[in-house]
């Protein structure tokens, strides 16, 4: 369902959650990310853009689906961002809407054993939350080179970042990403998303 970005940010802020709100951007391989710590926004990124520059750039972006990954965080130096209320006001002023699934974003995402029990065809698109989890896991393993590894894997698999991906293609993407990982982490990564 379509939901105003400002409402999504406000809900996460009120909940006091720590995590990353990740949003796809149409015709752009870079994701728009808002980082929360105990409900407070401490970092914003889009490609090489950071913090206030991303807020300024927001009005020119065409946003797609969003997902909140609860508990995820990145350790960075404290940034000079305005208070959440000002960020929410800027998001409201931009009028941006995102595709938002209350079920998966509320922390009831189907993952792990529950996902393996769910019978789905190989032609069924992978949920956005699964793609986001894969990207975050890669970030945890590969650090700053994660985006380069991921972009290269999308290219090798002839897939477009932000577009729906069939389960069969997702499996191929995971295997291609794992080729760029150290041997000891390769099996763990593939096992998590097989």
Q: What is the pLDDT of residues 69-94, one digit of tens each?
A: 888 777 776 567 888 999 999 999 99
As a whole number of angstroms, the distance between CA 8 and CA 117 comes to 30
Do residue 114 and residue 101 come from a single domain? no
> What distance in Å separates the CA atoms of residue 63 and residue 130, rounded to the nearest whole number?
19
Q: Examine the domain organization and report whether 11 and 77 are in the same domain.
A: yes
Based on the structure, what is the number of domains in the chain? Answer: 2
Q: Say if residue 84 is in the same domain as residue 158.
A: no
Q: For residue 67, what are its two tokens?
A: 């997902």
Is residue 75 classed as helix, strand or coil in its secondary structure?
coil
- What pLDDT is recorded for position 117? 38
In this structure, are 93 and 128 located in the same domain?
Answer: no
Residue range 172-184: average pLDDT?
A: 83
Q: Report the percentage of the chain scoring pLDDT > 70.
A: 87
- Among 106, 124, 143, which residue terminates a domain? 106
Least confident range from 38-42, 66-70, 117-121, 129-133: namely 117-121
Does residue 129 sit in the same domain as residue 189? yes
What is the gyration radius of the CA atoms in the chain, in angstroms? Answer: 17
Does the structure show a pLDDT above 90 at 96? Answer: yes
In terms of Cα–Cα distance, which of 119, 106, 89, 110 is closest to 6?
89
> Contact, 41 vs 2, CB < 8 A?
no
Task: Tell me the average pLDDT across 150-179.
Answer: 85
The structure tokens listed for 136 are 């975050």
Same domain, 102 and 6: yes
Average pLDDT over residues 51-75: 87
| CA atoms within 13 Å, Cβ hemisphere of 48 | 1
pLDDT at 105: 55
Shared domain for 168 and 147, answered yes or no, is yes
Average pLDDT on 98-126 reads 54
For 77-96, b/e burial (b = at least 16 CB within 10 A) is eeeebeebeebbebbeebeb
Angstrom distance (rounded) from CA 98 to CA 92: 12
Residue 64's φ and ψ, nearest 5 degrees, are -115, -125
- Which of 74, 106, 138 finishes a domain? 106
On whether both 116 and 83 belong to a single domain, the answer is no
User: Are both 62 and 101 inside the same structural domain?
Assistant: yes
Helix, strand, or coil (residue 3): strand
Range of the domain at 119: 110-193
- Is the domain of 142 the same as that of 129? yes
> Comparing 104 with 25, which gets the higher pLDDT?
25
In this predicted structure, the answer to whether residue 109 has a pLDDT above a threshold of 60 is no
Angle at 142 between CA 105 and CA 158, to 5 degrees: 75
Is the same domain home to 120 and 159? yes
Do residue 101 and residue 119 come from a single domain? no
Residue 115 reports pLDDT greater than 60: no
Q: How far is 53 from 119, CA to CA, in rounded Å?
A: 43
Percent of the chain with pLDDT over 90: 24
Task: Check if the beta carbon of residue 70 is closer than 8 Å to that of residue 107.
Answer: yes
What is the distance in angstroms between the CA of the first residue and the CA of the last residue of the chain?
28
């Amino acid at each position: 369902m379509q939901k105003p970005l400002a409402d999504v940010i406000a809900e996460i802020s009120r909940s006091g959650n720590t995590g990353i709100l990740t949003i796809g951007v149409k015709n752009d391989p870079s994701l728009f990310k808002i980082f929360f710590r105990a409900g407070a926004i401490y970092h914003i990124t889009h490609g090489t853009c950071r913090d206030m520059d991303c807020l300024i750039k927001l009005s020119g972006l065409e946003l797609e689906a969003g997902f909140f990954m609860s508990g995820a965080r990145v350790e960075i130096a404290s940034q000079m961002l305005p208070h959440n209320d000002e960020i929410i006001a800027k998001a409201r002023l931009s009028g941006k809407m995102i595709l938002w699934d209350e079920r998966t974003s509320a922390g009831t995402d189907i993952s792990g054993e529950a996902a393996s029990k769910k019978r789905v065809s190989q032609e069924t698109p992978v949920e956005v939350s699964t793609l986001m989890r894969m990207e975050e896991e890669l970030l945890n393993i590969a650090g700053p080179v994660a985006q380069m590894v991921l972009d290269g894997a999308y290219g090798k698999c002839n897939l477009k970042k932000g577009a729906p991906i069939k389960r069969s293609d997702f499996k191929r993407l995971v295997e291609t990403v794992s080729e760029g990982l150290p041997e000891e982490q390769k099996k763990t990564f593939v096992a998590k998303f097989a």
